[in-house]
């Protein structure tokens, strides 16, 4: 799949405009604070309806505006399709998702375009709370299993209803919710476990190729346990289940974030993203988009070069960096350089 271009309106500091992209590599350059990352964030939001920088979507609106719009043309299987996301905040909060001008549900929209993002915010995968790692797993599963997003939506609804019953302080009716909760939990955890097993294999193969310190990845499911009902009634919430799963990253039995240097943490996250790309390519026989924000000097340049030149063949790359040297390393083969100033693409130049 190739993102041919994007149009934004009221997205952070970006001026309302259309931007066309190179089918292979796009390097976004400019001084800090000009909007380089915002352009990448708009691409990610177009694909996922979310930001890769923050869970608070309302922060991506241009200051003082309560609506935003992002659209783009994606070419997949030799066919062009137009995707658009319209968001409104405030009292009339809503989201409108369209493919070729027709409204579609979220699970259908998310299958149209797949993007994997690397940024400093992604380090929370290793050092953040378990919720970050659950999101990491779920995004990966959803990229290759069309049924997963509807399944986790149903699970979340069941969890909410079961918690409401627990908060009422009454055990009456909980048995029916227990059965549904266990059934839906098992499906989610089976999908997560299968994905982590496959991702672990791909990740370990990549680590071996790049001769970097190995990191062990272990999925820790919290199996649903209705026998803890009396404890849950006192707590007013469900104490076991997929919402309490974790994914542990360790080095020699110790948490990875306590052992690895800053550069090693960043490289580990980058290799995890590479592994996700490889899995998607293998399962879908297609290539996702790869967004790399603010590649910095802590990353090993030789490994970075080798990684980017060994991506699946048709992977479209979008990258920013404040370091001229690293931009030069990324500028291999055919590519486009886009200069961003004050929220506007002021110039484009093609090479190769």
Answer with the one of 284, 303, 320 that is the final residue of a domain: 284
Answer with the one of 244, 262, 284 that is the final residue of a domain: 284
- pLDDT by 10s per residue, the chain, length 352: 999 999 999 999 999 999 999 999 999 988 888 899 999 999 999 999 999 888 888 889 988 888 999 999 999 888 999 999 999 987 778 899 999 999 999 989 999 999 999 987 788 999 999 999 999 999 999 999 989 999 999 999 999 999 999 999 888 888 888 999 999 999 999 999 999 999 999 999 999 888 788 899 999 999 999 889 999 999 999 999 999 999 999 999 999 999 999 888 988 999 999 999 999 988 888 889 999 998 876 677 778 878 888 888 889 999 988 776 777 767 777 889 999 999 999 999 888 7
Are 198 and 225 in a shared domain?
A: yes
> In CATH, what number is assigned to the domain containing residue 182?
1.20.1050.90
Are 14 and 147 in a shared domain?
A: no
- Give the dihedral sign, CA 123/125/126/128: positive
For 9, the 3-state DSSP assignment is: strand
Are 222 and 159 in a shared domain?
A: yes
- What does the pLDDT read at residue 333? 77
Element (H, E) at 79: strand 79-88
- What does the pLDDT read at residue 310? 82
Between CA 188 and CA 224 the distance in angstroms is: 11
Structure tokens at 228: 């803890």
Q: Tokens 């961003």 correspond to what residue?
A: 340
* Total-model pTM: 0.90
Q: Which range of residues forms the domain containing residue 257?
A: 123-284
Name the β-bridge partners of 19.
6
Supply the DSSP symbol for 313.
T
Domain count of the fold of the chain:
2
- For 177, residues 6+ apart whose C-beta sits below 8 A from its C-beta are 158, 161, 162, 165
Answer with the one of 268, 284, 300 that is the final residue of a domain: 284
Are 252 and 130 in a shared domain?
A: yes
Are 202 and 239 in a shared domain?
A: yes
Are 106 and 138 in a shared domain?
A: no
> In CATH, what number is assigned to the domain containing residue 298?
3.40.50.300
């Amino acid at each position: 799949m190739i993102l041919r271009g994007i149009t934004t309106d009221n997205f952070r500091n970006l001026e309302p405009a259309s931007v066309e992209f190179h089918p292979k590599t796009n390097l976004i350059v400019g001084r800090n604070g000009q909007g380089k990352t915002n352009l990448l964030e708009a691409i990610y939001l177009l694909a996922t309806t979310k930001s890769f920088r923050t869970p608070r979507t309302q922060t991506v609106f241009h200051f003082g505006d309560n609506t935003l719009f992002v659209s783009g043309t994606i070419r997949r299987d030799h066919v062009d399709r137009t995707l658009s996301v319209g968001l409104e905040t405030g009292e009339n909060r809503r989201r409108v998702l369209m493919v070729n001008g027709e409204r579609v549900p979220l699970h259908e929209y998310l299958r149209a375009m797949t993007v994997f993002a690397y940024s400093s915010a992604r380090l929370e995968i290793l050092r953040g709370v378990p919720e970050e790692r659950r999101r990491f797993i779920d995004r990966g599963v959803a990229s290759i299993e069309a049924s997963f997003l509807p399944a986790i939506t149903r699970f979340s609804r069941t969890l909410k209803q079961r918690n409401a019953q627990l908060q009422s302080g009454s055990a009456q009716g909980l048995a029916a919710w227990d059965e549904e909760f266990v059934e839906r939990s098992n499906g989610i955890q089976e999908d997560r476990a299968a994905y982590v097993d496959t991702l672990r294999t791909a990740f370990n193969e990549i680590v071996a190729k790049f001769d970097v310190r190995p990191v062990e990845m272990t999925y820790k499911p919290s199996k649903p346990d209705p026998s803890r009902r009396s404890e849950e009634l006192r707590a007013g919430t469900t104490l076991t289940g997929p919402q309490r799963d974790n994914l542990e990253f360790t080095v020699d039995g110790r948490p990875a974030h306590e052992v690895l240097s800053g550069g090693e943490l960043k490289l580990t996250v980058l290799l995890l993203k590479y592994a996700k790309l490889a899995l998607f390519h293998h399962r879908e026989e297609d290539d996702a988009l790869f967004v790399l924000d603010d590649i910095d000097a802590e990353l090993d340049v030789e490994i970075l070069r080798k990684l980017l030149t060994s991506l699946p063949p048709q992977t479209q790359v979008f990258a920013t960096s404040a370091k001229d040297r690293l931009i030069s390393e990324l500028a291999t083969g055919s590519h486009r350089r886009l200069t961003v100033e004050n929220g506007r693409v002021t110039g484009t130049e093609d090479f190769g």
